[in-house]
Structure 1
Amino acid sequence: MVAEEERLHKSQSAISHTIRQLEEELDLELLSREASRVLRQMQGLRTTASRLRAREEPELTIAVSATMDLAPLLPALADTGRSHPATHLRLRMEMMGGPIARLMEGKADIALASLDGVPLDEVEAEPVAEVTIRPVAAPGLGLPASSRALSASEMQSHVQVVAAGTGGAAHEQSRDLLPGGLKWTVSDLATKKQVILAGLGWGGLPDHMTVEERRSGALLSLNLEGFPLRRTMIFKMRRRDQAIGVVADELWSKIGSAKPE
């Protein structure tokens, strides 16, 4: 192809000078110097349109068991948030059967919880973490000091603090309830821990919530008949019949892929 300066029999500098003179005489810009910025904006619009065509969700809800340590989940949320800033991430902390209830109601895209009550033929599930629930009490509760397991009858005069479920009546706590004893019900684990620390009762709490208190002696591990140390596997779950969005699929792949030491 013949160069423009060869066709005009002028050098590049002469052509540029002529254009500048015309711009000054006509008081307008013949060749827009904003062209590169406009092109970048157009590329951004193309990228946005491409994401919209790819079904990038405007909102993504994750229902999480309140017993789970969030540390393994936070890096995945951070990465997904950076990659998809336009998607509103909604984190719902649920008790007992709450996560699976929200998933099956269509109010959550991903659930993180145990497999208790989960319809496995309708849900895809993969293990991601383990939670240890331990019965604890403050020294001020006055439980008898003994290395042997305390019986249910010995615990009947002490209040057992339990957290209400958020999955409906079918998902209220039934396991690890000592028969014949006093019981208080609270709305969440943070309140439960505070009540137990105040010496008003005893109850099971996840190990990650009581590490410092057990180390300092503010909480004591209990050896109880009928309430063993319980280890529960947490699974990430999504419905098999639900369309998978781009953001949900990316977050799913990241959850549990890198566990903190």
Structure 2
Amino acid sequence: MTYEQLLVLHAIVSEGTFRGAAERLHKSQSAVSHMLKKLEDDIGFLLLSREAYRPKLTAKGEVFYRQATRALEQMQQLRTTARNLNAKHEASVSLAVTATYPLTPVLNVISQVKKQYPTTDINLSRETMAGPLERLLEQQADIIIATMDGVPADQVEAIPFASITITPVAHPDHEAAQHPRLKTIQEMQSHTQIIVADSSSGNTRQSRDLLPGGLRWTVSDFAAKKEILLANQGWGGIPTHMIEEELSSGKLVPLNVEGYPPRHSQLFQIRRRDADTGIVAQAIWQQLAELQTEH
């Protein structure tokens, strides 16, 4: 039994087909099949049933696979530890943070790490919707802070990081804010909803809290969205921590919209399992994990 054989098994189960596993591992399909067969011969029982189009774990295979996954995680951690003990810090580290989360806690972590590793460049991007996930999957970010929406859980390590609340609001003079009663979706369709564009290129595009059939105004960021709301040009959801002062002063007021209560969103710090983690990225990861901040 070898580490590479376990990787093959993991890839087949994750991708659902031998062909998908071969593409993921950059091997031929015959090589993948041979390595799985060799693993099964070594352990003395079938791991996967080949009767259907998609291979399925046998009863014994399921038990073996759970233990194999743990072994792969431990091996990856061991490889990272060995590399960091023998290597200098990396030239750059890239982070992608959802625009719904305040930057200050992240900047504090980066500031502390930069004191230890001043020559490492930090690339920090603010992303919306599926933007952080796309950066991670395309290996343009070492660490992201985002929701788990659309994230392939078997391919990443994720730690609960923070929670935020998205509240639908409008200017107090907005027609929808004149009465506290519940506004129906049909009523709100005549009012322009301000939404923030997805920063991904489209392969992992996401959409949330869109009013069906309504008028929309798309902007690039939450700062622009907030200005438009304050100018009484529409309504929309915005992270509560961005508008605490406006809510307190009455410059913006919460709306009671059918199907759109304040949404509590759990954020995670996420990194790829198969990526090599450098010493600086590991330091940032560990300090982020210690924040455990809620917003």
TM-score by length of 1: 0.76
Contact between 1:77 and 1:251, CA under 8 Å: does it hold in 2?
A: yes
Equivalent position of 2:171 in the other structure: 138
The reply to whether residue 70 of structure 1 matches residue 103 of structure 2 is yes
Contact 2:180 2:255 in 1 (8 A): no
The one of 169, 174, 178 equivalent to 2:202 is 169
The equivalences for 1:104-115 within 5 A come to 104-115=137-148
Over the residues paired in the alignment, what is the CA RMSD in angstroms?
1.8
- Structure 2 distance, partners of 1:180, 1:91, is 36
Using a 3 Å threshold, how does the CA distance of structure 1 residues 172 and 216 change in structure 2: closer, same or farther?
farther
Q: Residue 227 of structure 2 is aligned with which of 194, 198, 205?
A: 194
Q: Could you say which residue in structure 2 is the equivalent of 1:250? A: 283
Q: Secondary structure at the match of 1:57?
A: coil
Are residues 133 and 116 of structure 1, via their aligned partners in 2, closer, same or farther at CA, if it must alter by over 3 Å?
same
Instruction: Give, in angstroms, the shift of residue 99 of structure 1.
Output: 0.5
Structure 2 gaps, min length 5: 1-83
Task: Summarize the Cα distance change of 1:258–1:167 in structure 2 as closer, same or farther, 3 Å threshold.
Answer: same
Q: Determine the structure 2 residue equivalent to 1:225.
A: 258
* Aligned partner of 2:113 among 70, 75, 80: 80
Which whole-Å CA distance do the structure 1 matches of 2:132 and 2:261 have between them?
24
DSSP 3-state at the match of 1:124: strand
Shift of 1:173: 5.0
Letter in 1 for 2:147: S
Q: 1:221 corresponds to which letter in structure 2?
A: P
Equivalent in the alignment of 2:122: 89
Tell me, in whole angstroms, the C-alpha distance in 2 between the residues paired with 1:206 and 1:87: 32
Shift of 1:143: 2.1
The aligned counterpart of 1:178 is 211
Contact 2:130 2:199 in 1 (8 A): yes
| Alpha-carbon contact 1:129-1:233 (below 8 Å) kept | yes
Q: How far apart are the structure 1 equivalents of 2:148 and 2:206?
A: 15
Structure with higher RCO (Cα < 8 A, 6+ apart): 1
Q: State the secondary structure of the residue aligned to 1:177.
A: coil
Q: 1:145, CA displacement in angstroms?
A: 2.5
Query: 1:171: how far off?
Result: 4.8
**Equivalent residue runs for 1:31-50 within 5 Å:** none
Q: Which residue of 1 aligns with 2:160?
A: 127
Amino acid at match of 2:226: K
1:241 is paired with a residue of what secondary structure?
coil
Query: Could you report, residue by residue, the CA deviation over 1:153-175 in whole angstroms, capped at 9, with x for unpaired residues?
Result: 21122100001001233555533
> Matched residue pairs, number?
211
Q: Which amino acid aligns with 2:215?
A: L
Contact 2:172/2:178 (<8 A) preserved:
no
- When you count helix as a share of all residues, which structure comes out higher? 2
SS of 1:143 mapped into structure 2: helix
SS of 1:146's equivalent? coil
Q: Which residue does the alignment assign to 2:66? A: none
1:223-250 per-residue CA deviation (whole Å, 9 max, x = no partner) reads 1102121011110011111111000001
Q: Hey, what's the Cα distance between the residues in 1 that align with 2:285 and 2:190? A: 46
Q: TM-score of the superposition, structure 2-length normalised?
A: 0.68
Q: CA deviation at 1:76?
A: 1.3
1:164·1:172 contact (CA, 8 Å) conserved in 2? no
Letter in 2 for 1:84: Y
> Residues 104, 173 of structure 1: CA spacing in aligned structure 2 closer, same or farther, 3 A cutoff?
closer
Query: How far does residue 58 in structure 1 lie from its aligned partner after superposition?
Result: 0.9
| Structure 1 stretches lacking a partner, 5+ long | 1-50
Q: C-alpha displacement at 1:221, in angstroms?
A: 0.6
What is aligned with 1:234?
A: 267
Per the TM alignment, residue 147 of structure 1 is displaced from its structure 2 partner at its CA by 2.5
Q: CA deviation at 1:140?
A: 2.8
SS at match of 1:168: coil
Tell me by how many angstroms 1:192 deviates.
0.9
User: Mean alpha-carbon deviation: is it higher for 196-205 or for 162-171?
Assistant: 162-171
The residue identity in structure 1 corresponding to 2:132 is P
Which protein has the larger Cα radius of gyration, Structure 1 or Structure 2? 1
Q: What are the superposed Cα offsets for residues 4-61 of structure 1, whole Å, 9 maximum, x if unpaired? A: xxxxxxxxxxxxxxxxxxxxxxxxxxxxxxxxxxxxxxxxxxxxxxx99524111111
Match of 1:213 among 223, 226, 246: 246
Counterparts of 2:110 and 2:221, CA distance in 1: 23
